[in-house]
A and B are shown apart, each in its own frame.
Chain A
Amino acid sequence: MLNRTNLATLLVVLAFLAVPMAATWLGTNYVITLATRVAIYGIVAVSLDMLVGRGNLVSFGHAAYFGLGGYAVAIASFHLANDVPIFGWSGTNEALIAWPLAMAVAGLAALVIGALSLRTAGVYFIMITLAFAQMLFFLFVALKYYGGDDGLSLSTRNLFAGNRITDSRTFYWICVSALALCVLLSWRILNSRFGMVLRGAAASERRMAALGFPVYRYRLAAFVIAGMMAGLAGALWANQNRFVSPDMLSWVRSGEFLVMVIMGGLSSLVGPVVGAAAFLLIESYLSGATEHWQMIFGPFVLLVAVFAPRGLWGAVRGKDRQ
Chain B
Amino acid sequence: MSALQLEGLRKSFGSLRATDNVSLGVEDGECHAVIGPNGAGKTTLIGEITGEIAPDAGRISLFGVDVTSWNVPRRALSGLARSFQITQLAPGFTALDNAAFAVQARQGHSFRFIADARKDKRLREPALAALEQVGLADRADRNAEALSHGERRQLELAVALAMQPRLLLLDEPMAGMGPEEGARMVEILRGIKRTMTIVLVEHDMDAVFALADRVSVLVNGAILKTGTPREVRDDARVRDAYLGAGAH
Contact = CB atoms under 8 A, between A and B. Distances in A.
Q: Tell me if chains A and B make direct contact, with any CB pair below 8 A.
A: yes
Interface of A: 188-189, 191-197, 199-200, 203-204, 206-215, 218, 221, 322
Interface of B: 50, 52, 71-74, 76-77, 81-82, 84, 88-93, 97, 100-102, 104-106, 110-118, 120, 123, 159, 163
Nearest to A267: B92
Given A191-B117, A191-B118, A206-B52, A211 B112 contact: no
Contact of A211 (B91, B101, B114, B123): B101
A223 B89 CA distance: 24
B110 A194 contact: yes
B73 A213 contact: yes
25 contacts: A193-B110, A193-B111, A193-B115, A193-B123, A194-B113, A196-B110, A197-B110, A200-B93, A200-B101, A203-B90, A203-B91, A204-B89, A204-B91, A206-B84, A207-B90, A207-B101, A208-B90, A210-B82, A211-B159, A211-B163, A212-B74, A212-B77, A213-B73, A218-B110, A218-B111
B31 to A, nearest CB: 21
B104 to A, nearest CB: 6
A221 B163 contact: no
A121 to B, nearest CB: 15
Contact of A213 (B92, B97, B105, B114): B105
A206 B156 CA distance: 13
A208 B113 contact: no
Q: Is chain A's binding surface mostly helix, strand, loop or mixed? A: helix
Contacts, number: 99
A210 B118 contact: no
Contacts of B92: 199, 203, 322
The listed residue with most A CB atoms (<10 A of its CB), out of B71, B110, B111, B114, is B110
Given A192-B117, A218-B110, 14 more contacts: A192-B114, A195-B113, A195-B117, A203-B91, A203-B93, A207-B89, A207-B159, A208-B90, A208-B101, A209-B71, A210-B82, A211-B105, A213-B73, A213-B110
B73 A209 contact: yes
B243 to A, nearest CB: 33
A119 B111 CA distance: 20
Given A200-B101, A212-B77, A207 B88 contact: yes
Contacts of B84: 206-207, 210
A188 B114 contact: yes
Contacts of B52: 206, 209-210
A209 B89 CA distance: 12
Given A207-B89, A209-B76, A221 B111 contact: yes
A276 B192 CA distance: 53
B116 A212 contact: no
A212 B110 contact: no
Of A189, A197, A212, which is in contact with the most chain B CB atoms at under 10 Å from its CB? A212
Given A193-B104, A221-B111, A214 B73 contact: yes
Contact of A196 (B82, B91, B101, B159): B101
Given A211-B163, A212-B105, A189 B113 contact: yes
A69 B102 CA distance: 38
Nearest to A204: B90
A199 B82 CA distance: 21
A207 B91 CA distance: 11
A195 B97 CA distance: 12
B111 A196 contact: no
B101 A192 contact: no
Contacts of B72: 209-210
Contacts of B163: 211-212
B129 to A, nearest CB: 17
Interface centre among B105, B123, B159, by most chain A C-beta atoms within 10 angstroms, is B105
Contact of A212 (B76, B90, B97, B114): B76
7 pairs of A and B residues whose beta carbons are closest in the complex: A212-B76, A203-B90, A193-B110, A212-B105, A212-B77, A211-B105, A209-B72
A185 to B, nearest CB: 8
A188 B119 CA distance: 12
A210 B50 contact: yes
Nearest to A211: B105
Contacts of A206: 52, 84, 88
B77 to A, nearest CB: 4
A189 B100 CA distance: 17
Nearest to B97: A196
Nearest to B163: A211
B114 A200 contact: no
Nearest to B106: A212
